[in-house]
Amino acid sequence: MLINSVTGPTGGFFLTDQSKKKSLLHVLTLLEDEGIITGCILGLKECSEKNPCPMHGEYKKIKPQLLDMLDNKTILELAKDMKDPRVVIHNIGRK
Sequential pLDDT tens for the chain (95 residues):
789 999 999 999 999 999 999 999 998 888 876 576 778 988 898 999 999 999 999 999 999 999 999 999 999 999 998 888 888 775 555 55
Residue 90: predicted pLDDT: 57
Q: How far apart are CA 39 and CA 16, in angstroms?
A: 31
In a domain, 42, yes or no: yes
Helix, strand or coil for residue 26?
A: helix
In a domain, 68, yes or no: yes
Residue 1: predicted pLDDT: 78
In a domain, 23, yes or no: yes
In a domain, 49, yes or no: yes
Residue 38: predicted pLDDT: 78
Residue 23: predicted pLDDT: 96
In a domain, 13, yes or no: no
In a domain, 3, yes or no: no
CA geometry: angle at 21 spanning 19 and 24, to 5°?
A: 90
**Containing structural domain, residue 62:** 19-86
In a domain, 9, yes or no: no
Q: Name which of 64, 46, 48 is nearest 56 in CA terms.
A: 48
In a domain, 60, yes or no: yes
Q: Which residues contact 61 (CB under 8 A, 6 or more apart)?
A: none
**Number of structural domains the chain divides into:** 1
Residue 95: predicted pLDDT: 53
